[in-house]
Structure 1
């Protein structure tokens, strides 16, 4: 889960596993994305921090939010909960 191409200047930059320190932001699930999407973030920090934040919501509210990770990866409830359940989750 890196936020950059797998090669840069012919050097290997892809890291295996979850990059818990990657940049991420919580958004409302139906915020429409679009050109000004970056300004619609409710909270930002590391991927681990944003997963912990969403998991702190009551289970019935978790589907109201998504996490947008650097590199244009959008995590919805199922993926957020799966990452939070991992043994290596730092939260």
Structure 2
């Protein structure tokens, strides 16, 4: 789940597992994305920090937020909760 580009005939560029230290931001789920999306983040940090932050919210509030991971991957509630439930989630 990394965002680094591969290289021509590169090896070991598509690693398995979760890169918990990858860059991520929490956004409101209905912020509209668009050209100024980079400035709409509520909070930024590592993927692990952002997953922990969302999980700290009451369950009824979690649908209001998404995590946008570096590399344009958007994580919604189900994927965030699945990441938090992993055995390798930092702090679990």
TM-score, normalization by structure 1: 0.94
Counterpart mapping for 1:21-36 below 5 A: 21-36=21-36
**2:81 alignment partner in structure 1:** 81
More strand as a share of residues: 1
Whether 1:19 aligns to 2:16 is: no
Q: Hey, which bits of structure 1, 4+ residues long, moved more than 4 A?
A: none
Q: Secondary structure at the match of 1:8?
A: coil
Alignment of 1:47-86 (within 5 A): 47-86=47-86
C-alpha distance in 2, partners of 1:34/1:70?
16
Q: Counterparts of 2:48 and 2:15 in 1: how far apart (Å)?
A: 16
What is the Cα deviation at residue 10 of structure 1?
2.9
> What stretches of structure 2 of length at least 5 have no aligned partner?
none
Unaligned runs of 5+ in 1: none
- TM-score, length basis structure 2: 0.93
Q: Residue 4 of structure 1: CA displacement?
A: 2.4
